[in-house]
């Protein structure tokens, strides 16, 4: 994967697209700058931040099943 590449995820509800960034060494969740070894963990953080902004009460980020909220968008 290229340095500063973005993995994208389209939410089922509304079709909004969220992204996490590969900085060459680690995945970064832009919502808070948290760093993760795995792309899916960084995206869970992004989805949780999005859902909280929409008023949802998200307590356990690790319990989020990404497939319940959207789908990964394949790179071109």
Q: In this predicted model, what pLDDT tens digit does every residue of 20-70 receive, in sequence order?
A: 999 999 999 999 999 999 999 999 999 999 999 999 999 899 999 999 999
| 20 within 8 A of 50, measured Cβ to Cβ | no
Nearest to 73 by CA among 2, 11, 24: 11
Which of helix, strand or coil describes residue 73?
strand
Domain enclosing residue 57, as ranges: 5-73
* Count of domains forming the chain: 1
What pLDDT sits at residue 6?
93
- 63 class by beta-carbon count within 10 Å (0-12 exposed, 13-18 middle, 19+ buried): exposed
């Amino acid at each position: 994967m290229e340095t500063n590449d973005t993995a994208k995820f389209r939410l089922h509800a509304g079709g909004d697209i969220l992204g996490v960034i590969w900085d060459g060494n680690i995945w970064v969740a832009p919502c808070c700058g948290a760093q993760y070894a795995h792309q899916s963990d960084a995206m869970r953080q992004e989805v949780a931040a999005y859902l909280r902004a929409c008023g949802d009460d998200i307590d356990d980020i690790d319990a989020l099943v990404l497939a319940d909220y959207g789908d990964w968008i394949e790179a071109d």
